[in-house]
């Protein structure tokens, strides 16, 4: 049984166990204290921490090897520009599709306020755009690494790698050392993935024990439209881009992406999924490390397809609930703001809600309406993270293909990069 099948089985088991606890044992103190807040919480949190533990060193050394592997600064700039514009294009397509579908289905038209409206919603503080550009450059690289600020880490690592190339042969030992550490980091990813099914089970069980399937019933119209558009974008729009811009088989791509998508769904964090996404595009799809190491962390930070879709549907939903007419100009404003905000608010905690508050303020919708959709946002966050990660991998594959740094031999091999069994060296010695 491969790792993807194992994770799927344990994820389904976690969803089932969590839903049963929510329905039948929600007030049972023993189950809540010892299982939901005890075993599930500890196991899930440890698993998330294991993934987060890998992100900064893996991105740093992988990116260092990648930039040094390219060896050509103009090529690095070319890859960055291509990836940047593809991310903007996919975000614009995502929110356009969301608004088009939502306007036609019109969720919220018959919404009843007696279904429960939280009293208030505190708008997260939006950083000024000037500060966002200033914050791209770390005043203290150590702080950037300690806090896991991805854009600052990417900036410093690229600058460091370029400087390594500039000093020539004297930098060679450092580059070789980085390559060895990168190999070790990828091996740690394999070890963490071998215990992934149990971590996924704990995360799913805790989430559904607390949230419950029944939570979505009053919001079924909004929830259903967001899920439908997320699915259409991941399986339709992104696959069309892959087919026509990358000339790559979407079917083979999706088969190889399953593990990363499941990780993204269960963790609801693009950053925490970076180690798995990197491993998938490099080992399973054959993208050269120099391309993957740059685009994947970059995409995890600024690619907001799933969030843009949520914004588009939420805008139409809240407008319908309050009976406010937005008009074509308003919707065009939403599209433009979402695309720009996906860059401007990159790396800011609670990014989805900040972007939504900005949009609502701009087009005159009541910001307190965000409180309505907060209840189901955790479940939707899981799905849209899977869509974001799929978008990261699609753009990586398209750019790699355009730069001739995608191995079609590896991509067409269904067994390439499958997780080998993890065992200790002395067991190898015993076998020989």
Please tell me the distance from the alpha carbon of residue 194 to that of residue 54, in angstroms, as a whole number: 15
The reported pTM is 0.83
Residues 103-132, mean pLDDT to the nearest whole number: 65
Return the domain boundaries, the chain: 3-414
At 429, is the pLDDT very low, low, confident or very high (cuts 50, 70, 90)? Answer: very low
Could you tell me which of 357, 381, 143 has the C-alpha nearest to residue 270?
Answer: 381
Q: How many CB atoms lie within 10 A of CB 91?
A: 26
Neighbour count for residue 142 (Cβ, 10 Å) = 9
* Rg (the chain; Cα; Å): 22
Confidence (pLDDT) at 111: 67
For the segment 224-247, the average pLDDT, to the nearest whole number, is 94
Whether 157 contacts 63, CB under 8 Å: yes
| Structure token digits, residue 242 | 């892959």
Q: What's the rounded Cα separation, in Å, for the pair 190 and 193?
A: 5
Instruction: Specify the pLDDT at position 113.
Output: 56
pLDDT (average), residues 115-130? 56
Token reading at 243 = 């087919």
| CA neighbor of 291 nearest in space, from 86, 141, 110 | 86
**Position 292 pLDDT exceeds 70:** yes
Yes or no: domain 3-414 corresponds to CATH 1.10.3860.10:
yes
375-401 burial, b at 16+ Cβ within 10 Å, e below that, comes to: bbbebbbbbbbbbbbbbbbbbbbbbbb
Does residue 213 or residue 78 have the better pLDDT? 78
CB-based contacts of 391, cutoff 8 Å, min separation 6 = 87, 90, 234, 238, 299, 303, 305, 306
What is the chain's mean pLDDT, rounded?
84
Write down the pLDDT at residue 116. 47
Question: Helix or strand or coil: residue 20?
Answer: helix
Under DSSP, the state recorded for 123 is: P
Q: Per 3-state DSSP, what percentage of the chain is helix, strand, and coil (rounded to 5)?
A: 80, 0, 20
- At residue 133, the pLDDT reads 76
**DSSP line for 287-327:** B-HHHHHHHHHHHHHH--HHHHHHHHHHHHHHHHHHT---H
Confidence of residue 38 (pLDDT cuts 50, 70, 90): very high
**Looking at residue 154, what is its pLDDT?**
86
Model confidence pLDDT, tens digit, residues 255-286: 999 989 998 888 888 888 899 999 999 999 99
Tokens read off for 356? 């939504």
């Amino acid at each position: 049984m491969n790792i993807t099948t194992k994770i799927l089985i344990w994820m389904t088991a976690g969803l089932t166990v969590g839903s049963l606890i929510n329905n039948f044992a929600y007030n049972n103190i023993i189950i809540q204290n010892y299982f939901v807040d005890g075993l599930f919480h500890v196991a899930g949190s440890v698993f998330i921490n294991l993934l987060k533990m890998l992100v900064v060193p893996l991105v740093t050394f992988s990116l260092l090897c990648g930039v040094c592997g390219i060896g050509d600064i103009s090529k690095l700039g070319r890859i960055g520009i291509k990836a940047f514009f593809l991310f903007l294009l996919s975000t614009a397509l995502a929110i356009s599709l969301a608004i088009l579908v939502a306007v036609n289905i019109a969720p919220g038209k018959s919404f009843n306020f007696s279904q429960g409206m939280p009293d208030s919603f505190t708008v997260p503080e939006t950083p000024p755009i000037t500060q966002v550009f200033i914050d791209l450059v770390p005043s203290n690289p150590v702080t950037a690494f300690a806090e896991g600020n991805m854009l600052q880490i990417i900036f410093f690592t690229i600058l460091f790698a370029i400087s390594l190339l500039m000093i020539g042969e004297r930098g060679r030992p450092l580059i070789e050392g980085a390559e060895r550490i990168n190999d070790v980091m990828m091996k740690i990813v394999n070890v963490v993935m071998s215990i992934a099914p149990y971590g996924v089970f704990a995360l799913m069980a805790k989430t559904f024990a607390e949230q419950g399937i029944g939570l979505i019933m009053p919001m079924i119209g909004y929830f259903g439209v967001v899920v439908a558009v997320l699915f259409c974008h991941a399986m339709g729009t992104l696959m069309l881009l892959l087919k026509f811009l990358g000339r790559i088989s979407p079917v083979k791509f999706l088969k190889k992406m399953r593990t990363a998508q499941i990780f993204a769904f269960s963790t609801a964090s693009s950053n925490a999924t970076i180690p798995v996404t990197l491993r998938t595009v490099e080992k399973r799809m054959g993208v050269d490390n120099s391309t993957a190491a740059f685009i994947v962390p970059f995409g995890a930070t600024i690619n907001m397809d799933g969030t843009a879709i949520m914004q588009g549907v939420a805008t139409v939903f809240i407008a319908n609930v309050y009976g406010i007419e937005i008009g074509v100009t308003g919707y065009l404003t939403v599209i433009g703001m979402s695309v720009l905000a996906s860059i401007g608010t990159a790396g800011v905690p609670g990014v989805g809600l900040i972007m939504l508050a900005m949009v609502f303020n701009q087009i005159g919708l009541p910001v307190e309406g965000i409180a309505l959709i907060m209840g189901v946002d955790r479940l939707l966050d899981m799905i849209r993270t899977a869509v974001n990660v799929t978008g990261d991998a699609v753009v990586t594959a398209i750019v790699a293909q355009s730069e001739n740094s995608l191995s079609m031999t590896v991509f067409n091999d269904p067994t390439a990069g499958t997780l080998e069994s993890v065992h200790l060296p002395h067991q190898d010695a015993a076998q020989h």
